[in-house]
Every structure is written in structure tokens, then in C-alpha cells.
Amino acid sequence: MTYIANTDTQRREMLSALGLDSIDELFDIIPKNLKSFSFNLPEAKSELELRQHLQLLARKNATDLISFLGGGFYDHYIPAAVDTIISRSEFYTAYTPYQPEISQGVLQAIYEYQSAICRLTNMEVSNASLYDGGTALYEAAMMSVRITGRRKIIVDEGVSPIYRKMLHCYTSNLSLEFVEIPTHNGIVNRELVKKELDKDTSAVILQNPNFFGCIDDFTDIVEKAHQAGALVISSVYPVSLGILKTPGEMGIDIATGEGQSLGLPLSFGGPYLGFMGTSKKYVRKMPGRIVGKAHDNKGREGFVLTLQTREQHIRREKATSNICTNETLCALQALVYLTLLGKEGFKEVAELCADKAAYTSKRLTEISNVKKKFSQPFFNEFTVELTGDAGDAIAALVEKGFAAGFPLGRYYKGMERCMLVAVTEKRTKEEIGLLKESLENVL
């Protein structure tokens, strides 16, 4: 295939306008010894061949497993209309809306997305998106350091182990102190947090529901942290906010999360969507693009990128973050999803997930070798303990057509027998029953 429009004749015309005989002359500036040598790339394929090749590759992936796999990334139903909108190439072939007069579509969409995130989280302001939930959490940690001028960060071990690894990676060259607090009965260990909170503490990082699926109310921790002059950052699973107490209601200072569950497919890890909300007083310390309402000289309303002085293209090495390209199309996708489900529908999704998870937990724990690990309430994901290695059980269940859950031993020492099971609105009573039977058979 080629997507080049010009013909040889046109190229000759253009070259002669430049007073040149060949295209090679345009590259004369590159010293001879720097010109490429090997160039072993495949030959061009036709669209038909490409389609056949990619279809074959797609078939080499096990996507027919009945999935109870979560861990922060969930198999939710995506209404058909979501793809209709994000397939509009006026949206997806545009770039960052630097020219508001011809970008009102995407700008208004981002303003609406920011509004939706604020309404979901009960936070006062939202940015236009970050890469994913993990980088959003790291950005929030750095933001707390900018706000407080302190350098110690307390992290609960209930925060996704993947995100904690990311936090370590990003801050390894900075003189920040990380203190990880082991959980107690599956939730935040209040005593240890209190002990660690001091005048150097910039933030306490929490997650709700946490990696084990347990849900919590952080209001008391927020109170203690604020007394110590520290902020509280909470990573939150957005679908849970259909019913659960919000970061805003808990007094959280910076709420972040992974927006994948809001209408984005799992897509083997991306593109995803990092969201972030905070208080208005911290908005100038927030990373990422922000859209605001504005008016033209005739009083007509429109939207623009605003508070840009925080950003790298203006403040360069003093910017709040280096982020430039974000995940705008994914933000639009999440917005369309939230809009389609609407006030009632979104609550219903959360209720369906929670109710089905409760049922699944009950059914699985009917098996004599399966116990609930924690007594804490949970939303759509929960931890069960088996009598043997959870990885073995899960592997055996793959054979039976299930992605039955996540073996927690991969990330938590001493939890080799624990399996994390996630349930979304897509799972049916029949599938849950089958899982129970199959698990019983492999144990």
C-alpha cells in the first residue's frame, strides 16, 4: 500500500521548482557516512493480506475464556454507540486543540468529561486526562510534594502492586522517602499510618476498593493526615462510584484512577485513561491539560485550553509535569459511556457488579476447600483462600475455559493460596455456577 498522493510527474514538477534533479539531493545535508546501510524490513502488503495476517494473529489470543480476572482492569459491557462516536474521524484525526475556533468539538467534550469526573468523584476540578491510573497516581504524589514541600510518602500495601512498582520506578532518582504500610485484616492499618504521619509527610496514598477488593471509608485517615499537614491521595475504581462513598465525600485531596472500566476495551493494557480530580485551591499545581469556558468578543460561549502556564510548552523545566499528548480520545470514550448509561444506568451497573460478586462469593465459598480471606465488605472483587496453590487452580481452570481470577501470590508473599475474583455485569448466573462447579472439580 501507499498513502502518498503525488505522481512521478508532480514530483518532477516540484523538484524543478526547487532547481533539483533528484530527491536524493534533498538529503545531501546528511553526511555520506551517516546514511543508512542495512534496511531489512518486510515488503509491502496489500490491505487484503494485512487483514488476513492480523486476523490470524488475533485468533492466537485466548479471548474466549469466561473472565473473572480483574486486578484493576475489568471486562465491562461497552454499548455499541460508544464506538460510533469515537470512530468519528473529526475527533480521532485531530490533534490537541490549540486552535479553539476549529476545535470546539473536542474542547467541549473535554469540558464535559471534566464535569463528569467531578460529578463521579465529588472533587472540585478535573484535568483533561493522564496516561493511565498508575501514572496518574505518580503525578498525584509529585503534586503533593509540590504543594507541601515535604518528601515522605506513605503508601498502603492495598494499593495496586503494579502502581506501587511504577511509583518506585519514577521516583528512584529523586530524594523521596516511601514508606509502605502492610494492611490489617485486608484494609488500611490505621495505627501504622498514624505512627508514620509526621511533619515530613507529604501524602498518604490509598486505594478504594483496594487490590484485595475490600472497600473502606478513609474519612478518619484524612482527618489525621490533615492534622499532620499531609494530603491524602486515593486511587479509585470509577465504576464503584456508581454506589460507593466518593473521594470528595471522604475529604480526599487528590483522587486518581484508571478509567478503562468506563467504556474502554481491555486491549491488552492500553490505551487506557488516567483521571485526576482535586480541590480548586490546588488547580495550579495539577499536571495535564485543562479546558475552561470562555467567550468571544460577541459574547458567544466557547471552550479553550486554560491555565497553560503550568505546562511544559511554557514553563519548560519548571512545569508541573512533562505530559503533552494525553489520552483525549479515551476521555471522550469514557464521557460517551457515562452519558449513555446516565444517572440511573451507571448506578445500576455498579449494583449489578456488587450483587453478582456477592453471589459469586457465596457460591464459591460453598466449596469446602474455599474460604473468604477477609471479613471486610467488598464491591465487585474479592479474595478467596484455597487449601492449595491458587496458581495451580487457576491454571487448571484455564483448561476448562475460565480466566478464574488472579493469583495474589504473584505480588504478595504469603498469599500463594489466595485468588482474587472479579465479577462484572457481563457474568451470568449460569457462568458463575459453572465456575463454582469447575473450581470444585479441580481442587
Partner 1 sequence: MYPKELKYTKTHEWVKNEDGEAVIGITRYAVEKLKDIVFIELPSIGAKVTKDSPFGTIESVKAVFELNSPVSGEVIAVNEAVNTSVDKVVKDPHGDGWIIRVKLKEQSELDNLLSKEEYEKFIQDIPKEG
Partner 2 sequence: MKLIFNKGAQGRRGVKLPELDVPNKAEIPEKLFRKSPARLPEVSEMEVIRHFIELSENNFGVDTNFYPLGSCTMKYNPKIGEEVARYNGFTALHPLLPQLRPGGLLTQGALQVIYETEQFLSELTGMAEFTMQPLAGAHGELTGIMIIAAYHKAKGNKKTKVIIPDSAHGTNPASAAIAGYRVESVPSNEHGVMGYREFMKVLDNEVAAVMLTCPNTLGLFNPEIKKIADKVHEVDALMYCDGANLNAILGKSKPASIGFDLMHVNLHKTFGTPHGGGGPGAGPVGVKEKLKKFLPISLVIKRRDGTYALEYERPSSIGYVAPFYGNFGVILKAYTYILSLGGEGLKKVSENAVLNANYIKEKLKTHYHLPYDRTCMHECVFSASRQMKKGVHAIDIAKRLIDYGFHPPTVYFPLIVEEAMMIEPTETESKETIDAFIEAMIKIAEEAEKNPDLLHSAPVSTPISRLDETAAAREMDLRV
CA separation (Å) from 148 to 126, 188, 216, 261? 20, 23, 26, 32
Helices 161-171 and 133-148, axial angle in degrees (round to 10): 50
Q: Does 413 bind partner 2 (CB under 8 A)?
A: no
The site partner of 176 among partner 2, partner 1, none (C-beta below 5 to 8 Å per kind) is none
Q: CB-wise, 300 or 413, nearer to partner 2?
A: 300
246 binds partner 2 (CB under 8 A): yes
Q: Is 284 an interacting residue with respect to partner 1 (CB under 8 A)?
A: yes
For residue 284, the minimal CB distance to partner 1 (Å) is 7
Q: What are phi and psi of 124, to 5 degrees?
A: -80, -35
- Write down the least CB distance from residue 309 to partner 1, Å: 4
Map the footprint of partner 1 across residues 6-35, applying CB under 8 A. none
- By CB under 8 A, the residues from 306 to 365 that bind partner 1 are 308-309, 314-315, 318
Strands 152-156 and 177-181, bridge-based pairing: parallel
Among partner 1, partner 2, none, the one that 368 touches (CB under a kind-dependent 5 to 8 A) is: none
Cβ proximity of 237 and 72 under 8 Å: yes
Which of 177, 223, 398, 437 is in the footprint of partner 2 by CB under 8 A? 398
Q: How many CB atoms lie within 10 A of CB 161?
A: 16
Q: Output 173 or 368, the one with its CB closest to partner 2.
A: 173
Burial string for 94-113 (b: 16+ CB within 10 Å, else e) reads: eeebeebeebeebbbbbbbb
Choice from 135, 148, 202, 261 touching partner 2 (CB under 8 A) = 135
Which runs of consecutive H residues, i.e. helices, occur in 149-241? 161-171, 190-196, 219-227
Name which of residues 270 to 309 contact partner 2 (CB under 8 A).
Answer: 270-272, 280, 283, 289-298, 300-304, 306-307
* Residue closer to partner 1 (CB basis): 308 or 365: 308
Tell me how far, at minimum, the Cβ of 321 lies from partner 1, in Å: 15
d(CA 108, CA 240): 26
Q: List the grid coordinates of 368.
A: 469446602
List 212, 237, 379, 412, residue binding partner 2 (CB under 8 A): 379
Cβ-based nearer residue to partner 1, 146 or 371:
146
Residues 6+ apart with CB under 8 A from 162: 71, 72, 134, 411
407 binds, among partner 1, partner 2, none (CB under 5 to 8 A by kind): partner 2
Contact in structure between 154 and 234 (CB atoms under 8 Å): no
Please state the φ and ψ torsions of residue 66, each to the nearest 5 degrees: -80, 120
Q: From residue 144 to residue 183, what is the string marking binding to partner 2 with x (rule CB under 8 A)? A: ------------------xx-xx-xxx-xxx---------
At position 29, the amino acid (one-letter code) is: I
56-95 residues in contact with partner 1 (CB under 8 A) are none
The C-alpha angle 159, 160, 162, rounded to 5 degrees, equals 135
Question: Applying CB under 8 A, which residues contact partner 1?
Answer: 284, 308-309, 314-315, 318
